[in-house]
Amino acid sequence: MGILSVLPVLIFTGFIASYCDASKPNIVFILADDLGWNDVSFHGSDQILTPNIDSLAYSGVAFGRYYSHAICTPSRAALLTGKYSYKTGMQGNPLGMSEDRSIPTNVRLLPQYFKDVGYSTHLVGKWHAGSSRREYLPTSRGFDTYIGHRGGYIDYYEYTVTEVWEDGPVSGLALFRNLSAAWDVEGYITDVYTDEAVKVIDDHDSSNPLFLMVTHNAPHAGGDTVVLQAPPEVVRELRYIESPDRRMYAAMVKKLDDSVGDIVRALQDKGILENTIIVFAADNGGMTTGLFANYASNYPLRGIKMSPYEGGVRVVGLLWSANLNNTNHYWDGYMHVTDWLPTLLSAAGVEPPTDIDGVDQWESINSNTASQRKTMVEIDDYTGYASITYGEYKMITGEPIQSHSEYLGGDLRGLIGSPPSYIDTIADSKVFGALHSIGRTFDMDFLGLRNKTIINCDASATSICYPSNDTVCLFNIIEDPCETTDLSSTYPELVTTMQALLDIEMSKRIPRIAPASIDRMSAPSLHNYTWDTWIN
């Protein structure tokens, strides 16, 4: 199908759901796991095509500077609370299945705010915010229903998680529906979560607004010793990708993109797409190498997941709504994962809480104006590093893992054939079809928007800065997004100012609720070979 014959010019409309309007928008939040910056095609690469995700970006708002925490559990805690993870004791390494800790139960979570104003609230997919006690589980924290894995990852076909304890591996089922083990489920986990999300939409009572979070496992590895997993027929479609590992990863991303298409189509079929806000985002940077490596690429950014460099924290993000004042644009303002709570509440006409770190960005996004955020902080006192962004500058101190601090992913770009036509792939996507049916597609200017998202770096740098506990690295991340040039000796007064601001934030830390430790009472053999709650 030729795109020129079916791409009408986007019709701009005003935002019709005012704060006093009784008809609140539905909200669907889709979260990818360990997706790299260079792994969506609206960022400029033709290697992995993501036409459904891209169509939302081109007809909505693509974020150029969306930031998250560098690791799974901290980023999800920040998303759910609107607070930096170190304000809730959830900073540092991700939660293990055998750990007894959670977001404190006296902290209100995003679904609780929406539930209080009449929303039906549902979670499909990864939780990773505490599962040792029933009061930590999603249905105790504001979600009406839940199906998914409670920990950080899951085998894509067997739905198991294996932890290696001192006396050997320990394994059990990790998929649950509400409070019960989901023994009856079959299929590829990305498809399972997609089908469950579609069912939530199909069964939704439209007299109430819908808040649905779909937190995919994809494209996270299915385990630390498990090879990447994708349907063979999808892998075969991607034979033009040179690296076999990258090809498998690309197949996982394709299934993720297909999921986005199916969810948007379900919203269209239900007749609620025009009154739905859709968010697609990654939880942190891609894990190119190391433990749980998935061969994601943050190219050309420096660093990967678990590092404070741009490749670890500057991630994929977009927002779509038919009722935005300004659509089809690239928003270059700072947006942080903590901002979602106040921003989405504001979009729903709900006054955001004031005791959070998140900033209400709804008006800035809606009208394509300057970001309300000037600073961002990353503190991992478990690994031993911290960073602060202040205007154009980012300062890093401490000792990030050096192998996570390099320039990685460039060697994964190889092709041994030609990818499909990008424009035709967009035109044939389910999201484009759904948008076309409601008159919300876009014209050929989207290629110009795509070019805006491409990051270019200075390859001439010869000396790369690594901080320590006694030294810092200072980068201008607007002019030098790949963090090649240290400016700490050039701007010592700025370093002093930023260090003082960081010290203030460090003083607000809540110590990690518990060290990473194994509670042997969590062993699946004690719970019908499932990773169920064990403290009640």
In one-letter notation, the amino acid at residue 431 is V
43 flagged as catalytic: no
Tokens coding 294: 């998935």
Q: 517 pLDDT band (50/70/90 cuts)? A: confident
Q: Determine the average pLDDT of the residues in 17-36.
A: 79
pLDDT computed for residue 327 by the predictor: 75
DSSP per position, 303-371: --TTSSSHHHHEE-EEEE-TT-SS-SEEEEEEEEGGGHHHHHHHHTT-PPPSSSS----HHHHHHT---
pLDDT value at 14 more than 50: no
Closest by CA position to 295, among listed 410, 141, 213, 129:
410
Q: Determine the average pLDDT of the residues in 436-446.
A: 84
Secondary element (H or E) of residue 246: helix 244-270
Tokens coding 451: 């070019």
449 vs 437, more confident: 437
CA angle 152, 154, 157 (to 5 degrees): 165
Looking up tokens 């298409």 gives 261
Q: 17 pLDDT band (50/70/90 cuts)? A: very low
What gap in Å lies between CA 516 and CA 75, rounded to an integer? 17
Q: What percentage of residues in the chain have a pLDDT greater than 90?
A: 87
Q: Determine the average pLDDT of the residues in 472-498.
A: 97
In one-letter notation, the amino acid at residue 298 is N
Q: Determine the average pLDDT of the residues in 260-268.
A: 99
439 vs 11, more confident: 439
Burial of 496 (0-12, 13-18, 19+ CB in 10 A): exposed
213 vs 330, more confident: 213
Closest by CA position to 91, among listed 400, 533, 514, 519:
514
What gap in Å lies between CA 83 and CA 338, rounded to an integer? 6
The distance from CA 518 to its chain's CA centroid, rounded to whole angstroms, is 27
Active-site annotation holder among 43, 69, 122, 128: 128
**What's the pLDDT tens digit per position in 215-243?**
999 999 999 877 799 999 999 999 999 99
Q: Determine the average pLDDT of the residues in 251-259.
A: 99
Domains and CATH numbers, the chain: 50-165+174-449+464-525 (3.40.720.10)
pLDDT computed for residue 513 by the predictor: 67
What gap in Å lies between CA 479 and CA 340, rounded to an integer? 26
Q: 460 pLDDT band (50/70/90 cuts)? A: low
End-to-end CA distance of the chain: 58
pLDDT value at 387 more than 90: yes
Q: 458 pLDDT band (50/70/90 cuts)? A: confident
**What's the pLDDT tens digit per position in 179-198?**
999 999 999 999 999 999 99
pLDDT value at 45 more than 70: yes
Q: What percentage of residues in the chain have a pLDDT greater than 70?
A: 94
pLDDT computed for residue 18 by the predictor: 34
**What's the pLDDT tens digit per position in 67-90?**
999 999 999 999 999 999 999 999
pLDDT computed for residue 77 by the predictor: 99
User: Residue 346 — left, alpha, or beta (φ > 0 → left; ψ -120 to 50 → alpha)?
Assistant: alpha
Average pLDDT, the chain: 93
What gap in Å lies between CA 298 and CA 296, rounded to an integer? 7
Name, of 4-8, 163-167, 354-358, the range with top average pLDDT. 354-358
Least confident of 59-73, 149-163, 223-237: 223-237
Q: 481 pLDDT band (50/70/90 cuts)? A: very high
Strands 26-32 and 276-282: parallel
pLDDT value at 429 more than 90: yes
pLDDT value at 516 more than 80: no
149 flagged as catalytic: no
pLDDT computed for residue 208 by the predictor: 96
What gap in Å lies between CA 40 and CA 254, rounded to an integer? 10
Least confident of 29-38, 94-103, 137-146, 254-263: 94-103
Furthest-apart CA pair in the chain: how many Å? 64
Active-site annotation holder among 43, 69, 72, 404: 72
As a three-state string, the secondary structure of 260-312 is HHHHHHHHHHHCCHHHEEEEEEECCCCCCCCCCCCCCCCCCCCCCCCCCCHHH
Burial of 494 (0-12, 13-18, 19+ CB in 10 A): middle
In one-letter notation, the amino acid at residue 34 is D
pLDDT computed for residue 459 by the predictor: 62
pLDDT value at 10 more than 60: no
**What's the pLDDT tens digit per position in 323-373?**
998 777 899 999 999 999 999 999 999 999 999 999 999 999 999 999 999
